[in-house]
Amino acid sequence: MAFRLIDIENWERKEFYEHFINQVVCTYSVVVNLDITNLKNHRLYPAMIWLLTKTVNDMPEFRTSLTSEGLGIYDEMHPMYTVFNKENKNFSGIWSYFSEDYDTFLKNYEIDAEKYSTSTRYAPKDGTPPNSFNISMVPWLEFAGFNINVFDDGHFLLPIFTMGKYF
């Protein structure tokens, strides 16, 4: 996992970054309807996790983070996603290594989901990489808007994705 520091003084986004990190500390939500017709031959949740992670890895803006080292961009991100425990009706947050090859990723996902889907812990898989981002799905709830507010000092920059029931 490489984390490349941004030279803020020479960064083309410096003015915008400083404005929103210091003066107008905020979060934002965007709701996007996706046509998932072409996913009909794939299991929806792992396919969506792979597609979201591929998109995040294709866009440096989604890999930008503020760490103890400073502001920088991760070279690669891995998904941290939820798995539902059918017995106790809770979920656990787990992560899997991402691979550009969908079949390799799917194998990683299936191993992790199988191993941790009966856990009663929130985060049963140790070693969550710092270069991970959050994905969750509420497949029984159809919604057109969803908003998560992270209560911190406004320095959480990584994306959080939440999906609902498809329609």
Average pLDDT over residues 11-34: 89
Kindly report each contact of residues 161-165 with a partner whose C-beta sits within 8 Å and lies 24 or more positions away, as own/partner: 161/52, 161/133, 161/134, 161/135, 161/136, 162/135, 162/136, 162/137, 162/138, 163/48, 163/135, 163/136, 163/137, 163/138, 163/139, 164/137, 164/138, 164/139, 165/138, 165/139, 165/140, 165/141
The answer to the question of residue 27 being in a domain is no
The answer to the question of residue 99 being in a domain is yes
The answer to the question of residue 6 being in a domain is no
Residue-range definition of the domain harbouring residue 130? 38-62+76-164
- The CATH number for 83's domain is 3.30.559.10
Q: What is the pTM of this model?
A: 0.90
The answer to the question of residue 142 being in a domain is yes
The answer to the question of residue 2 being in a domain is no
Q: Kindly state the tokens that stand for 8.
A: 């803020």
The answer to the question of residue 127 being in a domain is yes
Q: In what order do the strands lie in the sheet with 78-85?
A: 90-95, 78-85, 132-138, 160-164
Q: What pLDDT is stored for residue 70 in this prediction? A: 96
Average pLDDT over residues 93-109: 97
- Total count of residues recorded for the chain: 167
What DSSP designation does 134 have? E
Quick one: pLDDT band at residue 76, thresholds 50, 70, 90? very high
Q: What pLDDT is stored for residue 39 in this prediction? A: 76
Average pLDDT over residues 115-134: 96
Q: Could you give the number of structural domains in the chain?
A: 1
The answer to the question of residue 58 being in a domain is yes
CA gap 61, 68 in Å, rounded = 19
Q: Report pLDDT digits (tens) over 24-65.
A: 888 878 888 888 888 778 888 999 999 999 999 999 999 999
